[in-house]
Amino acid sequence: MPLIAHPRILVIGTGDTKADELLFISNCIAGAGGEAVMMDVSVLGDPSYSPQHDKHAVAAAAESTIEAIVASGDENSAMALMALGAARLARRLFDAGDFDAMLAIGGTMGTDLALDVAQTLPIGVPKFVISTVAYSHLIPPERIAADLMMILWAGGLYGLNGTCKAVLSQASGAVVGAARSAMRPRTVRPVVAMTSLGKSCLSYMVELKPALESRGYEVVVFHTTGMGGRAMESIAAKRGFVAILDFSLQEVANQLTGSVVNSGADRLENAGKAGIPQIVAPGAIDMVDFPAWLPTPSHLLDRPFHAHNRLLASATSGPDDRRRIARAIADKLASAQAPVAFVLPTGGIQQWDREGEALHDPEGLAAFIGEMRAAIRAPIEFHEIKDHINSEAFNTTVLAIFDEWVKTGIVPAGQTSVAA
């Protein structure tokens, strides 16, 4: 893939309050060999420079005017309308080939708007946000684009300074470099998504990935520690897969039990809404994750515990929570607009729940299995096996379902005649 010699970067910000910062970014982008394409999302004032896409164009893209946006009620409603216009205009400009990457700057207001713009652009288009709330839990998982990049805007509250310039120059150079070398996803082979927690907890991917690749599919495995599941959901919502093998549902359990290690309330829903066939299994739904550097949550103090590393620890949920999780899984799958097969491995659902391991909890597993059997209803296919999820029998069951779906046309056939 040829490199873009002089990438065009869509630079988004409120020029009435951040003109100095935005002009500094524009100069840094030019110094790195790129070209800044400025989009002003101011509401009340005007920038000291002439942006290629002014606030009136942004307002018009939202089917409004700046005057109407100012009169909309308050700054929240005004910026929501500007976010709508900025997202629509950015996508229109991208489709016309007017820029190669985006960079936005802001506090909570600017970040809120930037997240909408990033969501509207395809994966593989560099998306960089300079934010005073980068990586904050103020940002809900469902707002984060699959390949979003962020940098903390240190010293960025009011005006330029040495600390601020250090951050802005890094971001400018990073987005130019990304635009030069970014590769868009290739879709020669049909793409299948798979979720897992890594070989130490869930190991089926070791066998299933090459088996599916030999059938002519590209397999994309997502690590379900919050952001991994979010990335998968984001791509699924845009119909980026022909099928999803969603076997690690810990993020669903985390969200329902109040853990911050989750992918948002719409986890396990976007594939169904987009009409993507799913084979689903309840991998690791018994584990509740929490930051290892914080005290164990009081309601988990007496539960079996596993410290994965200095960042992440897990404890098992109790029987009542497991029943609630089972019902939630069934409810989410029941609304799917495409075939769903649910595989229930009654021998265990993650490596550490085996006898002798730290999270062995037969009472909790039995409660989940009983509720899951009762909750799943037709037309969802129900496949119960007596084996563990990390077993050859599980892999064989999954491949049999997948192959039958290919045979009947539910999943398109793989492309075995092209290079991987």
Angle at 57 between CA 52 and CA 58, to 5 degrees: 105
Contact 394, 211 (CB under 8 A): no
What residue segments make up the domains of the chain, in order of their start?
A: 8-181, 191-408
Of 104, 86, 110, which Cα lies nearest the Cα of 150?
104
pLDDT tens readout for residues 139-171: 988 899 999 999 999 888 778 999 999 999 999
Q: The CATH number of 191-408 is which of 2.40.160.20, 3.90.1140.10, 3.40.50.12030, 3.40.50.720?
A: 3.40.50.12030
Question: Checking DSSP bridges between strand 218-223 and strand 191-196, what pairing results, if any?
Answer: parallel
Burial class (CB in 10 A: 0-12, 13-18, 19+), 314: buried
pTM score? 0.85
The tens digit of pLDDT for each residue in 310-359 reads 888 888 999 999 999 999 999 999 999 999 999 999 999 999 999 999 89
The two beta strands, 191-196 and 148-152, are: unpaired
Strand 312-316 versus strand 305-307 pairing type = antiparallel
Which residues pair with residue 10 across a beta bridge? 37, 102
In sign, the C-alpha dihedral spanning 14, 113, 181, 184 is negative
CATH number of 8-181, picked from 3.40.50.12020, 3.30.9.10, 3.30.2290.10, 3.20.20.70: 3.40.50.12020
Average pLDDT, the chain: 93
- Asked if the domains 8-181 and 191-408 are classified in one and the same CATH topology, the answer is yes
Contact predicate 364/318, CB 8 Å: yes
How high is the pLDDT of residue 2?
59
Mean pLDDT along residues 108-134: 95
Q: Quick one: pLDDT at residue 420?
A: 44
